[in-house]
């Protein structure tokens, strides 16, 4: 019996390896495989011949309406809508795989579909009442209505709790007033999941999610924003001028909008992850073809070690990204409740792996890579946003680390009254940590000795499993050491948190790669899985080196020095040295 309340990473920070969560490696469910194959084939047919169009739409900064109609006809707006409402009913695994396919051709198209399904209407799927679903899902499935997610405002990006859009009760309606910024699909959407401030009787400020439709009086959108990348995808402002929203359009629990927003983002992360994988697979194809045909000094550049290093790393990172994104999708599909840390890890890893791949692919193409005639620069521009939206990677790293530290703090019985709960919502919780009882912070005893090894992996993988197990032992100790070192100041010690987050990211991704290779070994045997074994070996060695380095910096580092250098720059607001 699987306990779906357990989180692999949160347990790992306590030194416990819940291997049954990540083993065996997930596969697409049988009942969705056939549909998925058909969808992938139709995506190839629809997008495969449009490279010139995508380049032109990027330059023009717009996607033609007729093309959006085609996306609707191909059913691409109904991916996650349950079948009873006319959609394909894809779970996270199949959804992520579909976005991967779309992203191989064009990121603007992937984001248009992704913003609709990953975040725009996900709140309705997750929290909607039967009546709300009945009212909107059939139209969202066909694309008659396109959805958008509206949280960000001019004064509230990462600090989402600072939104100013207000919702005030007036009779049976809510009246919404405010401005939303950078809303993906804003120009083409009819269905908006809008977050606004609501207060309770005690005067406390909360947030609530509402369904707003374009036909409501007082709803308007600004002009199409010109962006660095994803230029063909629609991004606009959304203005709400005393918009009357009926009570039946409250989405999810009243005053729990922050949790609703976070759950939508967590649940939708495999869309972004799938898109990143698609981008990387395309880049690998482009780079290998280019390097095989481009000759310098009488040889194809693919024969040079410097180029092999780039391509090899792209392949390793792509394999690892697919492993972690698929694993998170499986956690969601199997009904795990605690996957926010794992989902955040997959977003950070995927977005950075894609960025690195786009940068290296451009480098392999040399001067051609810089020319707009080739797609490299567009892919690079498109890729950049992934580290910023759906939670910046800085904020997500803090979330990952602070969740771990909260758990460890809570484990210490004597500490629990002082520490527990402060990170219930780590993003909102900055600055609220109270007195931390440093003298009690010792984790020397009390850790379970059981579940400290991978027992379900093939003996051929023992060496790599040992790398993971060794790092895990250090991880719990590291969390403790960081907490003891910084005490109640930990929230202000972002570089220490970042270090811990990086260790956690590496370890979770390694667990996923280990699991993926383990399944390949079982299916194809050692010979059939030889290349994957090599990938695992490279990745495990890299993780081992990075993690060792990160551990070594917990106590001895230049954190204060480099912050001092930055503070001086902030004071001067310029670079002061000149060697004339
Ligand atoms: C193309 C595009 C599409 C978008 N689509 C949508 C959408 O559909 N719906 C929607 O609601 N929003 C959308 N956004 C908004 C996006 O989610 C925000 O830009 C993002 O959350 C970051 O907020 P910000 O831009 O205000 O940056 P800020 O919050 O001002 O952050 C600036 C920098 O400071 C860092 N930072 C901030 N606070 C901290 C901290 N406490 N500790 C350490 N570092 C910190 C950030 O990581 C970042 O590097 C979109 C943005 C873009 C560019």
3-state secondary structure (DSSP) of residue 49 = coil
3-state secondary structure (DSSP) of residue 337 = coil
Residue 445's pLDDT is 37
Residue 521 above 70 pLDDT? yes
β 235-246/173-184 pair status? antiparallel
Nearest CA to ligand 1 atom 32: 158
45 cis-preceded (ω within 30 degrees of 0): no
Please report, for residues 479, 482, 498, 501, 560, the alpha-carbon distance to residue 494 in angstroms, rounded to integers and kept in the order given: 14, 11, 6, 10, 11
Q: Is 389 in the pocket of ligand 1 (CB under 6 A)?
A: yes
Rounded CA-CA distance 23/514 in Å is 9
Host H or E run for residue 324: helix 305-333
Quick one: fold of 148-258? Butyryl-CoA Dehydrogenase, subunit A; domain 2 (2.40.110)
Residue 394's pLDDT is 98
Give the residue range(s) of CATH 2.40.110.10 domains in the chain: 148-258
Strand spans (E) along 394-549: none
Region 360-383 average pLDDT: 98
What token pair was written down for 300? 């194809």
Region 290-314 average pLDDT: 98
390 is catalytic: yes
Please answer whether residues 36 and 93 qualify as being in contact, where contact means their C-beta atoms are separated by less than 8 angstroms.
no
Mean of the per-residue pLDDT values for the chain?
A: 92
Host H or E run for residue 197: strand 191-199
Given the CA of residue 392, which atom of ligand 1 is nearest to it?
47
Residue 110 above 50 pLDDT? yes
Give the residue range(s) of CATH 1.20.140.10 domains in the chain: 413-568
Beta-carbon-side half-sphere exposure of residue 93 (alpha carbons within 13 Å): 20
pLDDT band at 204 (very low <50, low <70, confident <90, very high): confident
The one-character DSSP state at 453 is S
Greatest CA span in the chain, whole angstroms? 79
3-state secondary structure (DSSP) of residue 150 = strand
Host H or E run for residue 153: none
pLDDT in tens, 475-515: 888 888 888 888 777 888 999 999 999 999 999 999 999 99
Rounded CA-CA distance 228/382 in Å is 7
- Candidate from 120, 149, 152 with most ligand 1 atoms within 8 A of CB, to mutate: 152
Please answer whether residues 271 and 248 qualify as being in contact, where contact means their C-beta atoms are separated by less than 8 angstroms.
no
- Candidate from 113, 153, 222, 389 with most ligand 1 atoms within 8 A of CB, to mutate: 389
Cα 377 from chain centroid?
Answer: 23
Given the CA of residue 195, which atom of ligand 1 is nearest to it?
11
Cα 388 to averaged position of ligand 1 atoms, centre (Å): 6
Rounded CA-CA distance 112/233 in Å is 6
Residue 492's pLDDT is 84
Query: How large a percentage of the chain has pLDDT more than 90?
Result: 83
Cα 163 to averaged position of ligand 1 atoms, centre (Å): 13
Q: Is 86 exposed, middle or buried (0-12, 13-18, 19+ CB in 10 A)?
A: middle
Region 237-264 average pLDDT: 97
Residue 9 above 70 pLDDT? yes
Residue 412's pLDDT is 54
Please answer whether residues 461 and 536 qualify as being in contact, where contact means their C-beta atoms are separated by less than 8 angstroms.
yes
Residue 330 above 60 pLDDT? yes
Host H or E run for residue 425: none
Q: Is 227 in the pocket of ligand 1 (CB under 6 A)?
A: yes
Residue 404's pLDDT is 85
Please answer whether residues 272 and 347 qualify as being in contact, where contact means their C-beta atoms are separated by less than 8 angstroms.
yes
Please answer whether residues 496 and 485 qualify as being in contact, where contact means their C-beta atoms are separated by less than 8 angstroms.
yes
Strand spans (E) along 119-190: 147-150, 166-170, 173-184
Rounded CA-CA distance 544/467 in Å is 7
What token pair was written down for 119? 């975040």
CATH class of 413-568: mainly alpha
Rounded CA-CA distance 152/230 in Å is 18
Q: Is 235 in the pocket of ligand 1 (CB under 6 A)?
A: yes
* Number of helices followed by number of strands (H, E) in the chain: 20, 10
Higher-pLDDT residue of 420, 121:
121
Rounded CA-CA distance 85/94 in Å is 18
pLDDT in tens, 434-483: 333 333 333 433 444 578 899 999 999 999 999 999 999 888 888 888 88
Q: What are phi and psi of 457, to 5 degrees?
A: -90, 155
Residue 7's pLDDT is 94
Query: How large a percentage of the chain has pLDDT more than 70?
Result: 92
pLDDT in tens, 391-438: 999 999 999 999 988 877 776 534 444 444 444 444 443 333 333 333
Cα 152 to averaged position of ligand 1 atoms, centre (Å): 8
3-state secondary structure (DSSP) of residue 338 = coil
Given the CA of residue 160, which atom of ligand 1 is nearest to it?
21
pTM: 0.94
- Candidate from 122, 185, 212, 392 with most ligand 1 atoms within 8 A of CB, to mutate: 392
* Crossing angle between the packed helical segments 305-333 and 92-105, to the nearest 10 degrees: 150
Residue 326 above 70 pLDDT? yes
Q: Dihedral through CA 519, CA 525, CA 526, CA 531, nearest 10?
A: -60
Residue reference for tokens 């918009």:
243
Strand partners, 344: none
Rounded CA-CA distance 521/539 in Å is 17
Strand spans (E) along 268-363: 295-296, 299-300
Region 313-335 average pLDDT: 98
Cα 578 to averaged position of ligand 1 atoms, centre (Å): 34
Please name which of 252, 271, 248 lies closest in space to residue 126, comparing C-alpha atoms.
252
Q: Which of 31-45, 145-159, 298-312 has the lowest mean pLDDT?
A: 31-45
Nearest CA to ligand 1 atom 37: 158
Cα 498 to averaged position of ligand 1 atoms, centre (Å): 18
Radius of gyration of the chain (CA): 24
Region 564-578 average pLDDT: 97
If one counts every other C-beta atom within 10 angstroms of the C-beta of residue 564, the result is 11
Catalytic option among 247, 390, 560, 571 = 390
């Amino acid at each position: 019996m699987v306990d779906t309340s357990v989180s692999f990473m949160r347990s790992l920070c306590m030194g416990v390896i819940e291997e049954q969560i990540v083993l065996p490696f997930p596969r697409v469910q049988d009942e969705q495989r056939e549909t998925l194959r058909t969808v992938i084939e139709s995506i190839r047919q629809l997008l495969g011949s449009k490279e010139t169009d995508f380049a032109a739409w990027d330059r023009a900064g717009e996607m033609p309406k007729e093309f959006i109609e085609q996306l609707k006809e191909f059913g691409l707006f109904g991916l996650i809508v349950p079948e009873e409402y006319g959609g394909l009913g894809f779970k996270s695994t199949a959804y992520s795989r579909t976005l991967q396919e779309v992203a191989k051709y064009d990121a603007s198209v992937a984001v248009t579909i992704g913003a609709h399904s990953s975040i725009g209407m996900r709140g309705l799927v997750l929290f909607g009442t039967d009546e709300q679903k009945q009212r909107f899902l059939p139209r969202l499935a066909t694309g008659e209505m396109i959805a958008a997610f509206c949280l960000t405002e001019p004064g509230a990006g990462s600090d989402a709790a600072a939104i100013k859009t207000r919702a005030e009760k007036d009779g049976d309606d809510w009246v919404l007033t405010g401005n939303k910024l950078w809303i993906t699909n804003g120009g083409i959407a009819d269905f908006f999941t809008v977050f606004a401030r609501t207060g309770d009787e005690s005067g406390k400020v909360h947030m609530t999610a509402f369904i707003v439709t374009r036909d409501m009086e007082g709803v308007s959108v600004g002009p199409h924003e010109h962006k660095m990348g994803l230029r063909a995808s629609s991004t606009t402002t959304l203005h709400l001028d005393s918009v009357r929203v009926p009570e039946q359009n409250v989405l999810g629990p009243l005053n729990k909008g922050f949790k609703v927003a976070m759950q939508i983002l967590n649940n939708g992360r495999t869309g972004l992850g799938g898109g990143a994988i698609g981008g990387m697979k395309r880049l690998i194809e482009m780079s290998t073809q280019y390097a095989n045909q481009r000759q310098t000094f009488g040889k194809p550049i693919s024969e040079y070690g410097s180029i092999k290093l780039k391509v090899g790393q792209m392949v390793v990172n792509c394999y690892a990204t697919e492993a972690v994104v698929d694993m998170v999708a499986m956690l969601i599909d199997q009904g795990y409740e605690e996957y926010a840390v794992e989902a955040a890890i997959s977003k950070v890893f995927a977005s950075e792996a894609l960025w690195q791949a786009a940068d290296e692919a451009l480098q392999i193409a040399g001067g051609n890579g810089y020319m707009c005639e080739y797609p490299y620069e567009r892919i690079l521009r498109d890729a950049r946003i992934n580290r910023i939206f759906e939670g910046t990677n800085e904020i997500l790293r803090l979330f990952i680390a602070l969740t771990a530290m909260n758990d460890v703090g809570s484990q210490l019985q004597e500490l629990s009254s002082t520490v527990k709960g402060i990170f219930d919502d780590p993003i909102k919780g900055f600055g609220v940590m109270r007195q931390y009882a440093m003298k009690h912070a010792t984790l020397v005893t009390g850790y379970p000795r059981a579940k400290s090894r991978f027992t379900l992996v093939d003996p051929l993988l023992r060496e790599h499993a040992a790398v993971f197990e060794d790092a895990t032992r250090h991880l719990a100790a590291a969390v403790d050491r960081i907490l003891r070192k910084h005490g109640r100041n930990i929230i202000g010690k972002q570089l220490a948190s970042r270090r811990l987050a990086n260790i956690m990211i590496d370890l979770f991704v390694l667990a996923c790669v280990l699991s993926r290779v383990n399944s390949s070994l079982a299916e194809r045997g050692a010979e059939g899985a030889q290349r994957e074994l090599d990938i695992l070996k490279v990745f495990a060695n890299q993780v081992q080196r990075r993690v060792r380095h990160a551990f070594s910096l917990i106590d001895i580092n230049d954190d204060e020095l480099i912050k001092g250098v930055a503070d001086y720059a902030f004071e001067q607001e310029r670079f002061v040295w000149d060697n004339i």
